[in-house]
Structure 1
């Protein structure tokens, strides 16, 4: 082994989420629930305001045409509202960028910067730039660009969706897992294609390697501008 080499630091275990105004950035409606639904519930339980921004319209989420003839983006929005009600979040915003083409949205970083100035979040949950889904990656990159000149202290936390993170923080969501599961189940249009309950249950169970007394945990990596 190389002289002076050290393993990555062990993640800190949040007993409770950090306090403050929360902003969750979801590339598609469902990512907020899959990636950080448990911690959003816990924020709402301690009285923190939470806003979720669903950035794309989700229109590419039905490649086999199960819902042809319907207003599919509106269906995705309806699912998000039902999931949000279970999470305790009623402040949802839909930006409706074209699904699958977020990297082409050249105004995204500017729009995020304006959102940060207006909403003044204390805590941001968003995808990392290590994400392999192009929309997730594009949102992660745009968030970091928007935060580059943001002068207000903010906790910047990357959640797990299509790629895992190197955890900086983990939190026990065992007590709220059933609510998170129920929120995932509101996305029936997506569950026709992928068993997200099975996938996320496995991921959140695996993260209990950091706390053996827990049944389910969510993990987050410090982002570009984490002031915590």
Structure 2
């Protein structure tokens, strides 16, 4: 097991790119092993451009979406990307898939977890995913669950930015400087050809968070990603 590992639980195969690509690339560049779980391909609800092509099929959409996500993961330096194909609109999360995620937590012991906001009236797959990811975290901490395994500690959980933050009651309290790896994030964004309409939007988001990050620090930063921490930070000093 690597000294530094992280886990990203993404509802659809593009979510990790828009919302956490900078964090992934930044930590990968520092030697972290980042595992990304795509619970679905977003094949029904997030692939409109693909469905407009003549003769498109569900299997072909899934194949195209997986290819896009794999190329994006490579651009970001993802250590392991997994496609669980649990469907979307709606996302179907079973007890078996919950225990599968528990096993993954215990296999890699992530030092932090990134996932979706707890509310999203535009996409019920997103809050279902964060509930799923945090439920699995709790089970992975239970000593009575598969007691032969090493239990999970208390990795912090950060909720990445939803598409409509004001409507999602999402309040960022962490801003990450992703300026050094913006070129990698944008390369990954460009891999997502099926949602090209979002390329410019998430570039603007990155610039806006960069301005806010510079405003709240002494850093000279251009691009940022914002997160909402679920749990209190335990620190030795406040400086």
Please, which of 144, 155, 168 is the counterpart of residue 173 of structure 2? 168
Please, which of 206, 214, 219 is the counterpart of residue 221 of structure 2? 214
Once residues 57 and 197 of structure 1 are traced to their aligned partners in structure 2, the CA distance between those partners, rounded to angstroms, is 18
Count the aligned residue pairs.
206
Q: After superposition, give the CA deviation of every residue in 1:96-139 in whole Å (9 maximum; x if it has no partner).
A: 0111112x423243332222122221111111212331111100
Partner of 1:4: none
Which structure shows the bigger proportion of residues in helix conformation? Answer: 2
Which structure shows the bigger proportion of residues in strand conformation? Answer: 1
Once residues 110 and 204 of structure 1 are traced to their aligned partners in structure 2, the CA distance between those partners, rounded to angstroms, is 35
Residue 186 of structure 1 deviates from its aligned partner by 0.5
Structure 1 vs Structure 2 CA RMSD: 2.1
- For 1:4-153, list aligned pairs within 5 A: 20-60=4-44, 61-63=46-48, 65-67=51-53, 68-69=56-57, 71-102=60-91, 104-107=92-95, 108-132=97-121, 133-151=123-141, 152-153=153-154
Residue 226 of structure 1 deviates from its aligned partner by 6.7
| Kept in 1: contact 2:156–2:231 (CA 8 A) | no
| Kept in 2: contact 1:147–1:224 (CA 8 A) | no
Once residues 62 and 217 of structure 1 are traced to their aligned partners in structure 2, the CA distance between those partners, rounded to angstroms, is 27
Please, which of 178, 184, 207 is the counterpart of residue 205 of structure 1? 207
Residue 198 of structure 1 deviates from its aligned partner by 1.3
Q: After superposition, give the CA deviation of every residue in 1:169-209 in whole Å (9 maximum; x if it has no partner).
A: 11111222122111111110122xxx212111111211122
Once residues 226 and 140 of structure 2 are traced to their aligned partners in structure 1, the CA distance between those partners, rounded to angstroms, is 25
Structure 2: runs of 5+ lacking an equivalent: 142-152
Structure 1: runs of 5+ lacking an equivalent: 1-18
